Amino acid sequence: MSQTLQVLQAFDRTVVSEIPMDDARTLEAKLASAARTMRDRRAWLKPHQRSGILWRTASLLEARQAHFAQLIAREGGKPLSDAAVEVIRAIDGLRNAAEELRVFAGREIPMGLTPASEGRWAFTTKEPIGVVAAISAFNHPLNLIVHQVAPAIAVGCPVIVKPAMATPLSCLDFVALLREAGLDEPWCQTFITDDNALAERLATDPRVAFLSFIGSARVGWYLRSKLAPGTRCALEHGGAAPVIVDRSAPLDRIIEPIVKGGYYHAGQVCVSTQRIFVHADVMDEFVERLAARVRSLRVGDPLLQETEVGPLITPHEANRVMSWTDEAVSAGAVIIGGGRQSETTLMPAILVEPAVDSKVSQLEIFGPVTCVYGFQELDKAIDIANSLPFAFQASVFSADIGPAMRAARRLDASTVLVNDHTAFRTDWMPFAGRRQSGYGVGGIPYSMEEMSQEKMLVLRYDG
């Protein structure tokens, strides 16, 4: 008898659903099916077929927005208003992948530049890289799946997707939409398991040509070290996103985006605003304004339309965030707000001047906590912002172009946002962690490039 997985509602830990899990035999069958599908080049889906499937899936998802928003809020704990935005992004992501196929092509390679290359015409074409293993995270249980699956379908790769065990239902229902849109099962299969050894077997099987991994750096870098020879990968981890607030920044206009960046989805976002460096001239007023807005955030059941901050994904995570906060306070940080509301929900907190060696200053919090530090010299604040072994997105708020551009040039980040929060992204822009924060480039068009390979064709002719 196969084992089952209980999927719990993030907010109150009640059972949402119970679903069957896959075992080693099922994994082998799915890998064999995907590899067989990839080998049969005559049966590869044509671009118009792939595009049509993506467009139809987008339409099906659009018709079921309310269902998916509720599902995201229940299993993942994201507030319903934000969950609705996630569904809209997923719809757009599918259309983005389909539209990208209109320009997804090789290029001509010039010949005749030397006598030896005369009489030849050369160009490249795009081919799918092979079987894709996609291992996903809980915090955007629909949109992250779309980020991994839609590019694979678009370029013609069979994909096996393993959702996070806390949030598998959005993935399962999404794959059901793909079936309804006409995609045969071997082109997109799910793999449901809580067995880490089986998940590792999926990622490291030699039949897998590309691993897409979204999750913890510890697991991602470990899996990369175990990949079969020739397997390529993209890793998306997290960071401790820094924000620079210059003395010229208009405080009445910057608090709202900073709060959104720091407390969206209870801080459970890989580019969530975490470390805020504020010029000493405006430090007191900034903290006062930030504290007033943070205290007003409505915490509670994500299914309620008015909720702004929902639960942490598990009680364990809530306990961890509380322990990190307590440690920082014990070492001298001043705390504003905070505290536990329930088993899974925490009141948003601000930590003022936590020690530089505390966990909240050194590691990704992944909870509803921001840290505020004062500075006198911009370059010193930038040096501290750049001092951690990971780097992803960063922000600078300034009304003066000089400090804004100085910070934009010197911050170690793959993206620097000027007068916007660190968690901003669109799904067609490049999205990549630096150093320990990731490997490869995300964003739907960029993932399509990563999941494809070029083939050269050289035609020799007379005359």
Catalytic residue numbers, as ranges:
236, 270
Distance CA 441, CA 178 (A): 25
Distance CA 428, CA 154 (A): 14
**β-pairing verdict for 15-20 and 369-375:** unpaired
C-beta of residue 355 within 8 angstroms of C-beta of residue 344: no
Give the residue carrying structure tokens 């960046």: 261
Q: What is the DSSP letter of 427?
A: T
- DSSP for 13-79, please give it: --EEEEEEPP-HHHHHHHHHHHHHHHH-GGGPPPHHHHHHHHHHHHHHHHHTHHHHHHHHHHHH---
Residue 19, strand partner residues: 5
Tokens of 143: 């949109």
Distance CA 6, CA 354 (A): 39
* Burial of 416 per CB tally in 10 Å (0-12, 13-18, 19+): buried
